[in-house]
Structure 1
Amino acid sequence: MKAVFLPLFAVLLLALPARAEIVLTLGHAVSADHPRAQASQHFADTLKRCSGGRITVDVLGGASFGDDVAMLKALQDGSLDISANSQGPLSAFVPEINAFGLPFLFDRPEQAQRLLDGPLGEHLSRRMAQAGFVALGFWDNGTRHFSNSVRPLLKPADFAGLRFRTPADPVAVDIVRALGAQAVEIRFSALYQALQRRTVDGQENPLINFHAAHLHEVQTHLSLTAHKYEITPFVMSRRAWNALSTADRDMLRAVADDSTRHQRALTRKAEEDAYRALLASGIQISRISRPAFVEATRPVYKKWLSGPAGAYIRQVVEAAGE
């Protein structure tokens, strides 16, 4: 996505003409201390300040408006204005976004963000617009790792016979299956109980989510697989966007760009803090031999490169290797 930067005084000037007050709703599914929630509130506070109080954003957190799937549907019908959502659910509308979750594609989040902030991100934004969403930013949901309560996961063979929870994310499901395990889709809000009851043996999540949800209380082994990067799409309803004036759109876009930079920085620090906290928690943390996992998950690439979104996915894969 092409960034739009405006000096603060210029943004404030856009808000000077007297226009009707605007109230927008913003939904997310995480707790108040999560980077996604903190950046959502930062967006709301900044937009209110830059508009001189004329535009306010009601932030509805903790899945109070529904889960990510429900919020995307609400964006399409106009009952919700903005959402800090998830890559997996959005892929049902925009399959191209799955490119950024392919296994072991990126060594660092900055590699993915470089592509998202350029022409490949602009193409993704256009595809999202066709599905009824306005892309305001590609936020960072962190890098995902596996945990379980059976044994350390040091090599692909260790996954055999285990059941892993996955979100509504087709690439995550493909990765679990490629490693020889069974994928079970469970809502994040029900994950702790599912692990506690041994409905599933393990799960995969960024360290932030793992620690914030206290999953270390119901898991004994954490493997730092770093198998998948994940975007948090910051998206707006096209209906709500079209109702704004050109000046208000420019202001909102500038504030969204600022909030994207803020959220990414928050995520990096939160992941570091979560890692230190998990080290202190006593959970057994292991590292993997990456080449064996890369080889085991090659079939995932074959599937997605040969699919309907294959041309775009190939561009992302090739650009990631540059």
Structure 2
Amino acid sequence: MNKKTLTLATRDSALALWQTKHVAAAIESQTDFQTKLLPMTTEGDRRLEVTLSKLGGKGLFLKELEQAMLAGDADIAVHSMKDVPAKMPAEFQLCAVFERADPSDAFVSNHYRDLKDLPEGAVVGTSSLRRQAQLLSVRPDLQVKPLRGNVNSRLQKLDDGQYAAIVLASAGLIRLGFEDRIASRLMAPQWLPAVSQGAIGVECLASNTELAAALSVLNHADTWLCIRAERALNLTLEGSCSVAIGAYAEALADHSIHLKAAVFSPDGEQVLTAQQQGYDPESLGRVVAEDLLSQGAKEVLALSEQA
């Protein structure tokens, strides 16, 4: 009997293709499907001269992939979960989340081991408002400058001397074989990653309940709990990539979840933090978000949107 073939929509960057091939291998080994890839260039990939916050957010990495599913050209799409907006369109659903890889940010430099080692006024590159805010909260003397493009081009700009250091997601560097470029890791709880950073997600049409059920065997239970808590927090805060929010949830031995989150002003001068432990991920996310809102998070987030 011939196996049904699933078409996986993916961005055509090296990292996205690595992630999609990883998902494809899992699908072929754990389900009755075969797979083929549909690489696509998204608006977020084309508009490299503009920061994501100015373009309208990381959802730009999903739009073309979702349109391919609606048109019937693809069955599922594979994403870095940190790129998936907290509020998804009603036509789509997440049908599986893979085990989270290293959630930390990587401090990458050819001359300095750590953030504290950078000379005063050093130029640091990042594409993320969250990373910018956290950098400036620790080192207000730094010059934080935009850095977009794929992992290879970002590393090349560092090697060309445009930056003293750059900050990237550790998981992406590791997946592409660049772990040796990581000078040190910026880690929770002191340094908070983006919501869902390090996790890979599979999206399909909300109407395709049969496919979602078939792919649910790929879902990593603890990661799914943590991602749900972080996304509930983000949804309650109405967060997007145009604001500076960090969050990290951990599944504990007693089956509860610990969630810590922070909201930053773009200049790093205002930092609001909250943390809580609970068993229901959505409730936990809302409780931590409400704590931040009671501290004035709405006003701090408004500064990000004006930046």
TM-score relative to the length of structure 1:
0.49
Give 2:134's aligned residue.
175
Aligned ranges 1:122-161 → 2 under 5 Å: 127-128=87-88, 130=90, 132-137=92-97, 139-142=99-102, 143-153=104-114, 155=116, 158=118, 160-161=120-121
What CA distance in whole angstroms lies between the structure 2 residues aligned with 1:208 and 1:257? 17
Runs of 5+ in structure 1 lacking a partner?
1-15, 95-126, 262-293, 306-310
Letter in 2 for 1:235: V
Contact 1:135-1:233 at 8 Å conserved across structures: no
- Higher RCO, 1 or 2 (CA under 8 Å, sep at least 6)? 1
Tell me: CA distance 1:65–1:216, structure 2 relative to 1, closer, same or farther (3 Å): same
- Is the counterpart of residue 195 in structure 1 residue 168 in structure 2? no
Letter in 2 for 1:58: K
- Is the counterpart of residue 86 in structure 1 residue 83 in structure 2? no
Contact 2:27-2:215 at 8 Å conserved across structures: no
C-alpha displacement of 1:317: 10
Contact 1:88-1:170 at 8 Å conserved across structures: no
What CA distance in whole angstroms lies between the structure 1 residues aligned with 2:111 and 2:270? 25
Which has the larger helix fraction?
1
- Is the counterpart of residue 41 in structure 1 residue 1 in structure 2? no
Give 2:62's aligned residue.
72
Cα displacement string for residues 167-208 of structure 1 (whole angstroms, at most 9, x for unaligned residues):
4x4322322232333141312242122112222221123445
C-alpha displacement of 1:72: 0.7
Cα displacement string for residues 239-269 of structure 1 (whole angstroms, at most 9, x for unaligned residues):
x342x3x4433112223459x79xxxxxxxx
Aligned ranges 1:221-300 → 2 under 5 Å: 222-226=183-187, 227-229=191-193, 230-237=197-204, 240-242=205-207, 244=208, 246-257=209-220
What CA distance in whole angstroms lies between the structure 2 residues aligned with 1:249 and 1:85? 16
C-alpha displacement of 1:70: 5.2
What RMSD over aligned residues (CA atoms) do the two structures have, in Å? Answer: 4.7
TM-score relative to the length of structure 2:
0.51
Contact 2:100-2:199 at 8 Å conserved across structures: yes
